[in-house]
Amino acid sequence: NAGVMQNPRHLVRRRGQEARLRCSPMKGHSHVYWYRQLPEEGLKFMVYLQKENIIDESGMPKERFSAEFPKEGPSILRIQQVVRGDSAAYFCASSPRGDEQYFGPGTRLTVT
Amino acid sequence: GDSVTQMEGPVTLSEEAFLTINCTYTATGYPSLFWYVQYPGEGLQLLLKATKADDKGSNKGFEATYRKETTSFHLEKGSVQVSDSAVYFCALSAGGSGNTGKLIFGQGTTLQVKP
């Protein structure tokens, strides 16, 4: 059973561009969580999704950030018009029932 | 709101030394508690967990006991190895109805074990 997959592993964007981060959960997992890890900090919750539904987006910035988890395909975290402060590692985690979470290797976003 | 506080690092130990990383939490209700480990350049791996008071989680020689009276979940290992060098995160998931399972993390503690 493959683990949680994220791609790309590293992403470089210029200020003002869009960043699109993908997360494929473990087989059989229908719950996905996204977290952001700023340099020298712990992880902060961003959003929790189930297939086709956003359940909890209390940690998402109100502007420029969006997330989806379609019926088919990976979950996508989209950041529009990136700024330097968006540079961070973005981790997704999947869960079979919304309890124990399994983390992917992360996408490290650098905004130049 | 709910929060987790860990002892600041880095913690530097010699191989075979005893390890304690302190973790305390603030939460309403009855949270589940977790320790995750992050090796350089990798994602987080679940190390151990406890879901109710007085439970002891254990894995790979690491242990932590859920202490409700002191709101703590300290991580311990009797004899560390160089391969244990990593960043350790304490986390909670709030209990009760309406809980979405989101994790609240401490800031992480870097452990460096020297041969």
B28 Cα to chain A: minimum distance (Å): 18
B94/B101 Cα distance (integer angstroms): 7
Give the pLDDT confidence of B40-86 residue by residue, as tens digits: 888 899 999 999 999 999 999 999 999 999 999 999 999 999 999 99
Q: Which residues of chain A have pLDDT under 70?
A: 1
Paired strand residues for B45: B37
Chain A residues interacting with chain B (CB cutoff of 8 angstroms): 4, 6, 31, 33, 35, 41-45, 48, 55-56, 59, 91, 93, 95, 98-106
Give the pLDDT confidence of B87-101 residue by residue, as tens digits: 999 999 987 666 788
A35 Cα to chain B: minimum distance (Å): 9
- Distances in whole angstroms, Cα of residue B41 to Cα of each of A36, A86, B62, B86: 15, 19, 22, 10
B5/B104 Cα distance (integer angstroms): 10
Among the listed residues B79, B29, B65, B100, the one whose alpha carbon sits nearest the alpha carbon of residue A56: B100
The burial class, CB within 10 Å (0-12 / 13-18 / 19+), for A4 is buried
